[in-house]
Amino acid sequence: MIVNVALSSSTINSPATFPINRRLNVAGLPNPFLLHYGKINRSMFPSFLCRKITCGGRIVAAADMDKAEKMTGPVRIVGIVGEGSVSPLKSTPWLDVMLHTVEGLKWVDEEFEMIVFSDNFVKSKDETVKHVSNELDRADILVVVAVRKEGSVNWIQSNSQNVPNILCFDSSLALKNKLGGSFVETKKRGDIFSSLLPFSQSKKLDESVEITRIVFDAWERHNSNDIRFCLLVIINAYITPVSTLKNLRAKGFSTLNCMVTNCGSQILNCLLDPNCRKALQCLNNYSPIDQVCNYRCIASYESKYLEEFSLCVLQKNNCLELDAKIPEKPYVTPMAEFRGEKLSTEIAEDLFVGWLGTLEWS
């Protein structure tokens, strides 16, 4: 069975575990507290402020690729989904969820091409099996979701050896994850990603560990946007820079100089305040591109000093030199009528207030 038609986003979008502050999102707020200052180890700042942004070294490397190294053709992704499998996203079939992901990737970049197959193609007696095999031969990423049938597992193992990046979610333990051509295996304790066992001892290991942690943490949030985020992280790290993930790192000494020159008192007040300091430590544990985790830290340790620090560093002086733009896709036509009446300011206000209630439809 071959499926490559995307569904409407309205059918399966579900809220994340924690809401994302839209003001922060529009402003392109990264983790502003993960700064790379070179080898400034004797700074007045504690180590968690002077730590290099890793997010996997390859994420930094991908964003800083020379033009000659950047991928010029489309990014090709193949998804294989277990037949009849159901997701935790409002019990939507996994096949529908992944089709929605196809559409979401196109909103980010038209060059991101994804095709989704149900694993029942293994039993097909026509050209479908050959078609899937050909797609895998040129794929940059293979995503396997809820595949547990022995026949499907064996086929994937035999035909995906040349795919450089493989992500396996909720699938047979016989299927292994691969990043940048090197295998990594995830071991889970309960519902929380806990450890990684390397199959490669190269220097890529630490980078792969960090990237895999980011990806699986996002997957565990069971949100359609986070599924797309998982793929964008891999693309950005190992294939080509992703525009929506750029400018989420400190710029080096220029960032430090901007902060010290313009926000010295705010920094000192934050470091002396227990809550603000905990917020920085919490933020330092997560990738700057994972806004859900960043928002959790900000909401958990919100304080006057953290607000002043963020206001000074991010908004007043823009020390990270952010230039986030409002996405142009998907374009949604504004509502013109409601229940047969032309939408007025009064009706719009009533609708807005209505959403703030506690009723089932609110």
Boundary of a domain, candidates 184, 210, 245: 245
Q: Is residue 314 within 8 Å of residue 27, measured between CB atoms? A: yes
Return the pLDDT at 121: 93
Counted domains in the chain: 2
Instruction: Please provide the average confidence, as pLDDT, over all residues in the chain.
Output: 76
Q: Report the candidate in 241, 215, 7 with the shortest Cα–Cα distance to residue 108.
A: 241
Residue after which a domain boundary falls, among 218, 245, 272: 245
Other Cβ atoms within 10 Å of 150 Cβ, number: 9
Q: C-alpha 254: how far from its chain's center?
A: 27
**31 located within any domain:** no
pLDDT interval class at 58 (50, 70, 90): very low
Q: Tens digits of per-residue pLDDT, 93-103?
A: 999 999 999 99
Name the percent of the chain lying above pLDDT 70.
69
Domain of residue 360 covers 332-362
Residue 50 has pLDDT above 50, yes or no: no
Q: Are residues 236 and 100 in the same domain?
A: yes
d(CA 348, CA 352): 6
User: Do the Cβ atoms of 219 and 212 come closer than 8 Å?
Assistant: no
- Judge whether 287 lies within some domain: no
Among residues 72, 71, 63, which one has the least CA distance to residue 245? 63
209 and 338 inside one domain: no
Q: Give the tens place of pLDDT for each residue, 211-266.
A: 888 899 889 888 888 899 999 999 999 999 888 776 555 556 788 889 999 999 99
Domain boundary among 210, 245, 280: 245
- Ranking 54-58, 114-118, 124-128, 222-226 by mean pLDDT, the lowest is 54-58
Q: Is residue 47 situated within a structural domain?
A: no
Let me know: does 352 contact 343? Beta carbons within 8 Å.
no
Residues 100 and 238 in one domain: yes
State how far the Cα of 245 lies from the Cα of 214, in Å rounded to an integer: 14
Among 53-57, 222-226, 342-346, name the one with the lowest average pLDDT.
53-57
Rounded CA gap, 99 and 102, in Å?
Answer: 5
Q: Are 119 and 26 in contact (CB under 8 A)?
A: no
Query: Is 258 part of any domain?
Result: no
Looking at residue 146, its pLDDT comes to: 96
Give yes or no: residues 362 and 221 share one domain: no
Average pLDDT over residues 5-11: 38
Q: In CATH, what number is assigned to the domain containing residue 114?
A: 3.40.50
Summarised one tens digit per residue, pLDDT across range 127-170 is: 899 999 999 999 999 999 999 999 999 999 999 999 999 999 99
Residues 87 and 233 in one domain: yes
Domain identity same for 76 and 188:
yes
